[in-house]
Amino acid sequence: MSNFLAKIVITSIFAIVNSFITIKGQEFTLHSSGAIFWTEKSMLLIADVHLGKVTHFRKHGAAIPPHLAFENLEKLTAVTNQFQPETVCFLGDLFHSKLNTEWNDFAKWVEYTPANVILISGNHDIIPQYLFEDVGVKIFDALKIENFLLTHHPTEEDSFFNFCGHVHPGVTLQGQGRQKLRLPCFFKSEKQLILPAFGNFTGKYTLKPSEKDEVFVIADDHVIRVSE
C-alpha cells in the first residue's frame, strides 16, 4: 500500500465530519470512545478493551497508576448510557490475560447493564468460557449478521463486510513545523473496518492507507476524517 496518509500536513486535510457512515444500506455511528453504534440493530461494537491488563502489569511490578483499571469500565458505562443499545458486542480481547480482581468489577458491570452482552473471542481471551457464560456473556468465534461478518482478527470473506479489531490501528500526522501526532483511528477499506482499541492501556499500530482507504482519527472528543 502507498503511504500518502502516513505523513499529512494537518492544516490542509482536517475536516470534522458527521460521524455517521453508511455501509450496505446500514447506518453506523463512529464514536470518539472507539466504539461503533449500529443503528438498525441497536448494537454497540467495541474492540480490544483488555480489561485486567493494568492489574496484570502491576502484579508483575510495573509502576502503573491503579485508577487506570477503573477508567475502562467508566468509559464503557458512559458509551452504553449514551446509546442505550440492545446488544453490546465485544470484538475480542475483552480481558487481557488470566483472571484477576478486575473480573469482579466486569461481572458487576454486566449485571447492571440492561443490554445483552456478547463476545467474539480474541487471542487474549483465555479465561474459561463458562465463567463468561455464568455472568451472562455469550461467546462466539465469529458472527454473521445479514451481510456483515464480526470477528476479532481482520478477515476477508466474499459477500460480507468485516468489522474487526486486534490491530489497534493508528496513523501518524505531520504538521508544517514538523510536529507529529500519532492518533488512534477507525481504518476503513472496501470490505472491512478495523476498530481502534477501546482500552486506555493498549498502544497503537501505525497503518499506511492506500488512496482507496478511509481513515477517521480520534482527537479528544471528535472523530475526524482525514483525506489527501
pLDDT interval class at 57 (50, 70, 90): very low
Determine the topology of domain 10-226 in CATH.
Purple Acid Phosphatase; chain A, domain 2 (3.60.21)
Question: In angstroms, rounded to a whole number, what is the distance separating the alpha carbons of residues 98 and 110?
Answer: 19
Q: DSSP strand E in 74-160: where? A: 87-90, 116-120, 137-140, 143-145, 148-150
Residues 92-115 have a mean pLDDT of 83
pLDDT of 171 higher than 60: yes
Please check whether residue 43 is in contact with residue 37, taking contact to mean a CB–CB distance below 8 angstroms: yes
| pLDDT tens digit sequence for 123-144 | 877 788 899 899 999 999 999 9
The grid coordinates of residue 211 equal 488512496
In this prediction the pTM is 0.84
Residues 6+ apart with CB under 8 A from 15: 224, 225, 226, 227
Q: How far apart are CA 76 and CA 99, in angstroms?
A: 20
Q: Which of 137, 46, 48, 50 is nearest to 85 (CA)?
A: 46
Q: What pLDDT band is residue 105 in, cutting at 50, 70 and 90?
A: confident
State the DSSP H helix or E strand holding residue 79, giving kind and residue range, or none if neither: helix 68-83
The one-character DSSP state at 223 is E
Identify any residues that bridge with 45 across adjacent strands, giving them in sequence order: 36, 89
Secondary structure letter of residue 95 according to DSSP:
B
Cα–Cα distance measured from residue 224 to residue 228, given in angstroms and rounded to the nearest whole number: 13
Return the pLDDT at 40: 98
CA 181 – CA 46 distance, rounded (Å): 24
* Residue-averaged pLDDT of the chain: 82
Using left for φ > 0, alpha for ψ between -120 and 50, and beta otherwise, residue 166 falls in: left
Q: Is 106 helix (H, G, I), strand (E, B) or coil?
A: helix
* pLDDT > 70? residue 68: no
The one-letter amino acid at 160: F
